[in-house]
């Protein structure tokens, strides 16, 4: 689904992503782990167009996407969530989804405003899509609550719904379980499995090792921007280089 070849991104003298080649496999849960600062979020930022690669290639379903704009990549079918979920706290959950969808698919604020003014018919379709996304993540009962009044776990689910609202085929999830208790983490894992059951491909960055080991089909390990290992969870768990760089340290949460 996504082929990454020799992907590199420098920030001044720092090589945040260093010559990484990998494949994100269709219909699977592809996980990325590694210590803080390893380049995981930057890897996502390159795939979704937040940053252009310094060098290397990113092919999505055969098409080169490295250097395209965020909205262009969103419309091709790649969505993402962020480590922190920023919502409009004084708007309803449903309205957050409607606005969020436009912010993801329009290239400028002018487009967002023009679009919002223009469309009465679109408005209805947009609302239906937003409701479908909320239904999928189990948040229909709180669609009309203010986003500022919902729980941390519900915010995470809103972030998932926002990602789904652009009808992606690939979803990048950046530490979705951060700050959640084990029970909430299990609920979110269930939801991630549901993504795959519905034909989506998932790429997941997460620190919670129990969750990753149970959920991932494949794990890539980054350290100082470099890929140091890749394989099935059982193999990664006992890989000496991985234990040395990550699993043996305090970085990995259980
Ligand atoms: N926009 C940026 N400008 C400069 N340095 C950055 C930027 N984004 C990330 N970095 C640096 O790149 C490295 C990798 O960061 P990041 O991808 O956020 O790591 P991770 O998500 O694995 O914790 C870090 O050293 C970070 O400080
Ligand atoms: Mg990060």
**In this predicted model, what pLDDT tens digit does every residue of 80-96 receive, in sequence order?**
999 888 899 999 999 99
Residue with CA closest to ligand 1 atom 9: 42
Pairing of strands 201-205, 170-174: parallel
The pLDDT tens digits of the residues spanning 69-78 come to 999 999 999 9
Pairing of strands 14-24, 63-64: unpaired
Question: Are 220 and 31 contacting, i.e. CB atoms less than 8 angstroms apart?
Answer: yes
Atom of ligand 1 nearest to the CA of 205: 21
Q: What is the mean pLDDT of the chain?
A: 91
Question: Are 227 and 54 contacting, i.e. CB atoms less than 8 angstroms apart?
Answer: no
pLDDT at 99: 84
Q: What is the largest CA-CA distance in the chain?
A: 59
Atom of ligand 1 nearest to the CA of 222: 22
Question: Are 201 and 26 contacting, i.e. CB atoms less than 8 angstroms apart?
Answer: yes
Q: Which of 84-93, 163-172, 211-220, 244-253 has the lowest mean pLDDT?
A: 244-253
In the chain, domain spans: 1-77+168-254, 84-160
pLDDT at 119: 57
List b or e across 39-68, with b for residues whose CB sees 16 or more CB atoms inside 10 angstroms: bbbbbbbbbbbebebeebebebeeeebbeb
pLDDT at 118: 61
What's the N-to-C CA distance of the chain in angstroms?
Answer: 30
In the reported structure, the alpha carbon of residue 200 is separated from the centroid of ligand 1 by a whole-number distance in angstroms of: 27
Residue with CA closest to ligand 1 atom 25: 37
pLDDT at 149: 96
Specify the CATH number of the domain 1-77+168-254: 3.40.50.300
Residues at CB less than 6 angstroms from ligand 1: 11, 14, 16, 34, 36-42
User: What are the φ/ψ torsions at residue 82 (nearest 5 degrees)?
Assistant: -115, 160
∠ CA 73-190-160 to the nearest 5 degrees? 30
């Amino acid at each position: 689904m996504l082929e990454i070849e020799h992907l590199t991104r420098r920030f001044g003298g720092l090589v945040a992503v260093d010559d990484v080649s990998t494949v994100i496999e269709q219909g699977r849960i592809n996980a990325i782990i590694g210590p803080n600062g390893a380049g995981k979020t930057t890897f996502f930022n390159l795939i979704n167009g937040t940053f252009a690669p310094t060098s290397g290639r990113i092919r999505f379903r055969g098409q080169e996407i490295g250097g395209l704009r965020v909205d262009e990549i969103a419309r091709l079918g790649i969505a993402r969530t962020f480590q922190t979920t920023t919502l409009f706290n004084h708007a309803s959950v449903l309205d957050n989804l409607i606005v969020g969808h436009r912010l993801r698919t329009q290239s400028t604020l002018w487009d967002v405003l023009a679009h919002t003014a223009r469309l009465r018919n679109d408005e209805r379709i947009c609302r239906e899509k937003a409701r479908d996304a909320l239904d999928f993540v189990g948040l229909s009962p709180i669609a009309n609550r203010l986003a500022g009044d919902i729980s941390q776990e519900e915010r995470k689910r809103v972030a998932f719904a926002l990602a789904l609202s652009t009808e992606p085929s690939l979803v990048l999830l950046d530490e979705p379980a951060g700050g959640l208790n084990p029970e909430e983490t299990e609920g979110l894992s269930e939801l991630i499995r549901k993504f795959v059951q519905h034909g989506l491909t998932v790429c997941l960055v997460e620190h919670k090792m129990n969750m990753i080991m149970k959920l991932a089909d494949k794990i890539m390990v980054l350290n100082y921007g470099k890929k140091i290992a890749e394989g099935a969870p059982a193999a990664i768990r006992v890989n000496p280089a991985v234990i040395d760089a990550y699993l043996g340290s305090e970085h990995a949460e259980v």
